[in-house]
Amino acid sequence: MKTKKEMIKKRKARIRARLTGTSARPRLAVYRSNTMLLAQIIDDERGETIVSQRSTEGKNTVAAQKLGVRIAKAAKEKRISHVVFDRGGNRYHGVIKVLADAAREGGLQF
């Protein structure tokens, strides 16, 4: 039986094989650690992070909601409205889904 880390690594590789961020449509990458959430908007063509935000209140759904709104606001300041969502190998439920929904409500389209 595979471990949880191995399953996440396999899902992440499968997702990243299909997704790339361009200047017109950068990648919104989400990372979930044991203690926090991190969201970055990345232009893979130039190899640089455009916007980065992290949760300061842990990794619960309230923190994910606030992080989604903050990353959308920061993206709007940089004139970014369309992104590609990279869930980072995590399943699309719980805090990842709340973050994505909050980013959509904040004005990002994906």
The domains located in the chain, with CATH, are 4-105 (3.30.420.100)
Relative orientation angle of helices 95-105 and 61-77, to the nearest 10 degrees? 40
pLDDT in tens, 13-65: 998 888 888 888 999 999 999 999 999 999 999 999 999 999 988 889 999 99
Q: Which of 16, 36, 38 is nearest to 84 (CA)?
A: 16
Is-contact 102 73, C-beta < 8 A? no
Write down the pTM of the prediction.
0.86
Sheet holding 27-32, edge to edge: 48-54, 37-43, 27-32, 84-86
Q: What is the chain's mean pLDDT, rounded?
A: 93
Q: What is the pLDDT of residues 79-106, one digit of tens each?
A: 999 999 999 888 899 999 999 999 999 9
Q: What are the backbone angles phi and psi of residue 91, rounded to the nearest 5°?
A: -75, 150
